[in-house]
Amino acid sequence: MSLRDADEIVDAELVEPGAVVPAPSTPAARPRVDQHTVLRPGQEIPTTADRGPSYTERDLYISEETAKALDEVSAENSPPRRTAMRGFEAWCAKEGRVAVPCTTATYTEYGRYLMDRGLKVSTIRNYMSLIRTSMPEGQQPDNTLFLRLLQVYRRTHKRASRVKQAFPITMPYLVPMMLKAEEDERPIGWRDAVMFAFGYRFLGRSIEDVDLDIEDLTITDDRIVVWLVKDKTHQNEEQTVTLHDRPDLNLVPRMRRWLGYLASLGVTTGPVFRHLQKDGQLGSRVLATRRGDYLRGHTVNERVKLWFTAAGLVTDGRPVSSHSLRAGGATDLGLADATDQEIAEAGRWRPDSPIPRKVYVRPAKDAKRDPFSRVPVYGTDPGGE
């Protein structure tokens, strides 16, 4: 026997000549079950001795196209999520901590850091939720300790719990804004005016408005029918929403004018609301962000503020934003004694959502109500003589 043969002998047992060598023993079969195993009556429990399918490399690999599609899905983050993660990653780099996947200790410490900055409770909760759900599946930190700290922070920092709702742009504010935008007969004013009219009547979130394509709209003489593939409440349920026009809104003629102008530029498909330059030409999107030809929700926000101020309008202290259009439509419906169900259906809230009545309708009615108006003004004759 050569030295090489000897090296290949790993384990051996000496036996007498002619003795029977026992066959190697096989490991005992064990049950092969987990919490998802479901057996029918009479079916035997599967064990490790059962032969399953023989997988090959063909069964394990995905194609380059599928890998690319999965990468695109992983990279598709909303602007708020990107903002939250950028702040978190910068803080982790400064503190010498791992950002992804982060530990529960790092997550809790960052939550306390946000509290030390005096941020609103709603802002902290939103940021921390976005950070937690941005972690790889199955590696999300435990948020129990953070929520305990937030509960104490809420009690000891009362102003941090205050949430200022958007000022509702009701019809008396909406009409002057649209007229001001159209005053100079510029295409960008036409776009903004119909964008405001649509946002008010559609009762959509600004990102839902600017995500719509021309192909999603069917325009008749007195209404616009919108095909909506999803919204915040209906993620897997497409809807057909009918927007009836009215004389003070002029949604149909405003939309036709805007789409007609786009058609004159050769645009008949794609985003309804697009970037325009001051001279009326389409804005260059060569260096555009992920949204490409689609407006950002932030752009709507800026245009609402611009024309609200330009129209000489003032608020009661609440901030004006793109959400003011949705708030205005809901408030007008509530002041007109629409039912909770009608408001929820119009704005596509959940049927049991308290938001329309609690956030928009009740504050508007409370502001108009003054029980002290029943008390006569001092020095006047209560009898009117």
Is a pLDDT exceeding 50 seen at residue 9? no
Q: What is the DSSP letter of 31?
A: B
3-state helix, strand, coil in the chain (%, to 5): 50, 5, 45
Query: CA angle 317-336-234, nearest 5°?
Result: 80
Checking DSSP bridges between strand 217-219 and strand 239-244, what pairing results, if any?
Answer: unpaired
List pLDDT tens digits, range 74-87: 665 666 788 899 99
Quote the pLDDT of residue 77: 62
Mean pLDDT throughout 237-241?
82
- Give dist(CA 132, CA 287) in Å, integer: 31
Measured between alpha carbons, how far is residue 330 from residues 247, 344, 361, 362 in Å? 19, 9, 7, 11
Residue 295 phi/psi, 5-degree rounding, is: -65, 150
Is a pLDDT exceeding 90 seen at residue 49? no
Mean pLDDT throughout 68-96?
82
- Give dist(CA 206, CA 196) in Å, integer: 10
Quote the pLDDT of residue 111: 96
- Give dist(CA 300, CA 273) in Å, integer: 10
List pLDDT tens digits, range 306-362: 999 999 999 988 899 999 999 999 999 988 888 888 888 888 888 778 887 777 777
Distance of CA 238 to the CA centre of its chain: 17
Contact status, residue 329 vs residue 171, Cβ threshold 8 Å? no
* CB neighbour class for 340 (10 Å; exposed up to 12, middle 13-18, buried from 19): middle
Is a pLDDT exceeding 80 seen at residue 48? no
List pLDDT tens digits, range 159-180: 776 767 889 999 999 999 999 9
Mean pLDDT throughout 149-166?
83
Quote the pLDDT of residue 42: 85
Return the residue matching tokens 């003004």: 377
Quote the pLDDT of residue 234: 61
Distance of CA 209 to the CA centre of its chain: 13
- Give dist(CA 306, CA 85) in Å, integer: 30
Checking DSSP bridges between strand 223-228 and strand 217-219, what pairing results, if any?
Answer: antiparallel
Quote the pLDDT of residue 3: 45
- Give dist(CA 178, CA 195) in Å, integer: 9
| Cα Rg, the chain, nearest whole Å | 32
List pLDDT tens digits, range 102-131: 999 999 999 999 999 999 898 999 999 999
What CATH number should be reported for the domain whose range is 77-161? 1.10.150.130
Determine how many CB atoms are found less than 10 A away from the CB of residue 165. 14
Could you tell me the two tokens for 257? 């004018």
CA end-to-end distance (rounded Å), the chain: 134
| More confident position, 209 or 71 | 209
pTM to 2 decimal places: 0.66
- Give dist(CA 149, CA 156) in Å, integer: 11
> CATH homologous superfamily of domain 171-281+293-367?
Intergrase catalytic core (1.10.443.10)
- 3 state DSSP class of 238: coil
Contact status, residue 325 vs residue 304, Cβ threshold 8 Å? yes
| More confident position, 62 or 17 | 62
Contact status, residue 184 vs residue 342, Cβ threshold 8 Å? no
Domains in the chain: boundaries:
77-161, 171-281+293-367
* Least confident segment among 72-81, 88-97, 219-228: 72-81
